[in-house]
Structure 1
Amino acid sequence: MHELAITVIGPDRPGIVADVAEALAEAGANLTDSTMTRLRGHFAMTLICNGPSADEAAHSLEQIGLVTTVHEISPESADAAAGEPYLVSVHGADRLGIVAAVTRVVAAAGGNITDLTTRLTGPLYVLVAEVDLPAGSADTLAEQLAVAGAELGVDVTLRRAESELL
């Protein structure tokens, strides 16, 4: 069995998720992880699937008329350290370099960004990132993020992520 990383991008329309899921199921690919979103009129999705070869999956996706990529990947290492879960949020006027500056501070502290979303709504720019931090690094990172936020003219907060019930 192959593990595949798949991306799909195209103009948004009803039925994209169903079309992709059906094409993958017909090819024998089991969708294990995914993220999907609408970005200014375009639909983007990233999927991890188990199943057929990359060529078989790519062939099945050709029929849906979207831009797709399919790559075989190695399974995730079971011994990968997760760290402590935190949320970084940024609110303020839009300006060039917000994502670069904030994510560089997180990376310099040894943090791993596991999910990141940004939105521009009128003049307000919002960034929300889920991060895994090394044990005991949150207080120092919060101070460094506050400095970066002041330089950018935005509010940056770091808080421990709440456990989610599935």
Structure 2
Amino acid sequence: MTTHAPTTTYVLTAIGEDRPGLVAALAAAVDEHGGNWVDSQLALLAGTFAGIVQVDVPDESARSFLEALPALADEVGLAVEATVGVPRGDAEEPRSVLRLHLLGQDRTGMVREVTAALRSQGATIDSLRSWTREAPQGGGMLFEAEAEVRLPAHAGEGGVREALETIAAELMVDLELDAPE
């Protein structure tokens, strides 16, 4: 039977001017301290690399790992901040998961209105990705978003759907809401 050394979960936020080797440098720092790269979301936004990474680092290496992170700014231009992750409790209330897809003419306030409708129903956003693109045949800019949301046990899909359909009509967007496959 193998026993594992206690670990601490960190959520790292990393940002820097895009260039080759940023992810490799961060991965090397994690590996050099015996850490495990658990999950990540990495993107290039407006010429800037931005990433969020969840890592597990053995407790005996945690201090040296945290002390090594600032050096990445000098070495490769990657500013990294670490926050201790909070494990989800086993006793957390059950939640249902829904996927949301929105498409419409781009205008200010769309994300605010959608997230306010979700909040009004007690929904938690697990992931959100949004982008703009040119509409076909020169019709301006389109805004598109995909999200995965969790609903508390007491909230029903119907209430969320109603709240979102109300704002979809106001924003004049197409909205799809369904359970993940």
SS at match of 1:128: strand
1:79-122 Cα distance to aligned partner (Å, 9 max, x none): 22351121111101111111111011111112111000000113
Q: Secondary structure at the match of 2:20?
A: coil
- Residue 113 of structure 1 aligns to a residue whose secondary structure is strand
Partner of 1:7: 13
Alignment pair present for 1:134 and 2:152: yes
| C-alpha contact 1:146 1:157 (8 A) present in aligned 2 | no
Larger Rg: 2
Task: Kindly provide the amino acid, as one letter, of the partner of residue 86 in structure 2.
Answer: S
State the distance in 1 between where 2:24 and 2:91 align: 34
CA-atom RMSD in angstroms: 1.8
Match of 2:41 among 35, 39, 59: 35
5+ long unaligned stretches in structure 1:
none
What 5-or-longer segments of structure 2 have no aligned partner? 1-6, 135-140
Corresponding residue of 1:147: 166
Q: Is the Cα–Cα contact under 8 Å of residues 88 and 130 in structure 1 kept in the other structure? A: yes
Task: Give the equivalent residue in structure 1 for 2:117.
Answer: 105
Could you tell me which residue of structure 2 aligns to residue 56 of structure 1? 64
**TM-score, length-scaled by structure 1:** 0.87
CA–CA distance in structure 1, aligned partners of residues 178 and 12 of structure 2: 32
Q: Cα deviation per residue 1:19-72 (whole Å; 9 max; x = unaligned)?
A: 21011111222222222122222211111212132x522332323321211122
TM-score, normalising length from structure 2?
A: 0.80
1:76 Cα shift? 2.6
Structure 1's consecutive aligned runs of 4 or more residues displaced over 3 angstroms after TM superposition are none
CA contact (8 A) 1:88 1:129 kept: yes
Q: Percent identity?
A: 31
The amino acid across from 2:177 in the alignment is: L
Equivalent-residue separation in structure 2 for 1:56 and 1:82 (angstroms): 38
**Bigger mean CA offset, 58-67 vs 28-37:** 58-67
> Corresponding residue for 2:137?
none
User: 1:119 matched to which residue of 2?
Assistant: 131
Residues paired across the two proteins, number:
161
Q: Structure 1 residues 34 and 80, CA, compared in 2 at 3 Å: closer, same or farther?
A: farther
* Letter of the structure 1 residue corresponding to residue 24 of structure 2: A
Is the contact between residue 44 and residue 50 of structure 2 (CA under 8 Å) also seen in structure 1?
A: yes
